[in-house]
Amino acid sequence: MSHQILLLLAMLTLGLAISQRREQVPCRTVNKEALCHGLGLLQVPSVLSLDIQALYLSGNQLQSILVSPLGFYTALRHLDLSDNQISFLQAGVFQALPYLEHLNLAHNRLATGMALNSGGLGRLPLLVSLDLSGNSLHGNLVERLLGETPRLRTLSLAENSLTRLARHTFWGMPAVEQLDLHSNVLMDIEDGAFEALPHLTHLNLSRNSLTCISDFSLQQLQVLDLSCNSIEAFQTAPEPQAQFQLAWLDLRENKLLHFPDLAVFPRLIYLNVSNNLIQLPAGLPRGSEDLHAPSEGWSASPLSNPSRNASTHPLSQLLNLDLSYNEIELVPASFLEHLTSLRFLNLSRNCLRSFEARQVDSLPCLVLLDLSHNVLEALELGTKVLGSLQTLLLQDNALQELPPYTFASLASLQRLNLQGNQVSPCGGPAEPGPPGCVDFSGIPTLHVLNMAGNSMEMLRAGSFLHTPLTELDLSTNPGLDVATGALVGLEASLEVLELQGNGLTVLRVDLPCFLRLKRLNLAENQLSHLPAWTRAVSLEVLDLRNNSFSLLPGNAMGGLETSLRRLYLQGNPLSCCGNGWLAAQLHQGRVDVDATQDLICRFGSQEELSLSLVRPEDCEKGGLKNVNLILLLSFTLVSAIVLTTLATICFLRRQKLSQQYKA
């Protein structure tokens, strides 16, 4: 009987100890998920609820994973052990978790302890996703670590030290659909390395050391990322009956000399070959009937290849093509001919001197065309081309004289960036402008226009008549003369107006009439006066930095009080007195005036003071001082005149008396 009592007491003591320990464990349990990340734990907690289905232990200091206590939690489906210091996995540790589906071992030290443990992960029959990234795995360590995972669909081996993929690396995981191998040192992929993955659809090989892709044959692959390698050539396997499913291909930041041959990818919708060394060939001679004959050096022609049994033209489904940062000097018409579905084309940062699209219905679906940062001198657009184009980027080129209706022919154009060219706008019907000017009036779809830095000398009346612009940038055109009526017709639409850095001394724009104007930039000019806003408008941001304003009178700014939110005034010779409206905004906080502590005003002719510290009584005292000074100076001057007159009279009388005495 006494032994039974002692056993009962021992069990009660053990239960009490376990209960107290559970209270001490800092993990939180929510809906059968134990949240133990970032707690500095040295081992897996042993006192959690046994029915938890997810255990998050990332960001701790675990070094070894043992069957006990991890094996207590047999209901686990999701186990996160990432960002620890794990170098040892006890053999069979994960076999103790029969329902495990998601295992994350990323960013540990598995490569350090693999020599001590040859068992690897073992068979994991229900595992769906496995993350082994960031473990410095190299050589055959991956093959030793990977076990039989018949249901595995997602595998990450990114950020390791793999240099080669062997033919048998991925045996035992036939269901894998997504494989991430980015940021390794892969230089060689053995033939057939991916044959064990018949369902592979997403493959990431970016940031490796691959130099060539030859005999590409992964017909089931849909997404392939080969960016940031050293690839000089991309070639597919010669299989005429192959039905490739590739839809997304990234080859940016490689060493391609030619546009890759993609005739076998009729489903391709995204292609990025930016940051290469591509030079497009001149294409076929005009009048050539043999569209299938490859031109010299044109191994990558998007024209149909007779060796391919494709039902549609290559690249006819392509939606996005990025050719930026290459060495392209000319885009042949044959290159664009079959891109009938293309919506986004980026040709920026090349060596283009001209661009033409004159063929009827050329690029009918194109929405965005980026030709910026080239050396374009000519732009030739037909009358019925680019019918869907909404955004045209031409900034930082050498465009100077263009046909007057170059942009008027673009039926859907909404955004046009011409910054950093030499384009001169024509005026309205009564102000046609000089030869070579471009007509920006009568374009009913155009809403955003940037003509900053075009060395414009004159903005004529009616320049944008019947063009409902909402944003207009005319900044950085030093010496620009804005004629009266230059912005007429924009009163009901304009919301953003940029006139910075033009050296304007007078602003001949009736700003209060622009009722929808929200942002106005007049910085870096020589303005000293503004028109009077006597009625409420929509202006929210007003930039007047580095001008010649001394006063912002309340009778001119009153209409802005309900809308203005931000006012920039640095670099103006502001007067401390007479700026009652501005002082009121500072003290009441209704308008956010930039750098109020550094906004300096002049008090009198010499003294400078922070405008936020000026009080009304300071100006009153200053006024009295000025009056007293004027009175003192006036009294002194009158006294000096009186004294001088008296002295002169006395001198003359004495001289006269002296003459009489001598006589």
User: Which residue reads 């002194």 in tokens?
Assistant: 636
Q: Is residue 357 a contact partner of residue 381, using CB atoms and an 8 Å limit?
A: yes
356 burial class (0-12, 13-18, 19+ CB within 10 angstroms)? Answer: middle
Span 226-278, pLDDT tens digits:
999 999 999 887 776 778 999 999 999 999 999 998 989 999 999 999 999 99
> Whole-angstrom Cα distance, residue 532 to residue 553?
9
Please state the φ and ψ torsions of residue 54, each to the nearest 5 degrees: -140, 135
Which string of DSSP letters, residue by residue, matches 447-465?
Answer: -EEE-TTS---EE-TTTTT
> Whole-angstrom Cα distance, residue 35 to residue 37?
6
**pLDDT (average), residues 192-217:** 95
pLDDT of residue 93: 94
Return the minimum-mean-pLDDT range out of 196-210, 566-580, 629-643. 629-643
The amino acid sitting at 7 is L
pLDDT at 488 over 80: yes
Q: Are strands 270-272 and 344-346 parallel, antiparallel or unpaired?
A: unpaired
Task: Return the H-helix or E-strand segment holding 322.
Answer: strand 320-322
Q: 603-626 burial by CB neighbour count: b if 16+ within 10 A, else e?
A: beeeeeeebeebeeeebeebeeee
Please state the φ and ψ torsions of residue 35, each to the nearest 5 degrees: -100, 100
Beta bridge partners of 64: 88
Beta bridge partners of 567: 542, 593
Q: Which of 335, 392, 394 is nearest to 369 (CA)?
A: 392
Which string of DSSP letters, residue by residue, matches 114-179?
Answer: GGG--STT---TT--EEE--SS---TTHHHHH----TT--EEE--SS---EE-TTTTTT-TT--EE
User: Which residue reads 């690249």 in tokens?
Assistant: 315
Instruction: State what percent of residues in the chain have pLDDT above 70.
Output: 83
pLDDT of residue 536: 84
Q: Which of 550, 548, 543, 478 is nearest to 517 (CA)?
A: 543
pLDDT of residue 402: 92
Q: Which of 322, 316, 225 is nearest to 266 (CA)?
A: 316
Q: Which of 431, 374, 447, 437 is nearest to 405 (CA)?
A: 437
pLDDT of residue 22: 44
pLDDT of residue 619: 73
Structure confidence at residue 292 as a pLDDT band (50, 70, 90): very low
Question: DSSP character for 359?
Answer: S
Q: Which residues contact 308 (CB under 8 A, 6 or more apart)?
A: 240, 263, 264, 314
pLDDT at 356 over 80: yes
Q: Is 271 helix (H, G, I), strand (E, B) or coil?
A: strand
Span 111-151, pLDDT tens digits:
987 655 657 899 999 999 999 999 999 878 898 889 899 99
pLDDT of residue 39: 96
Structure confidence at residue 647 as a pLDDT band (50, 70, 90): confident
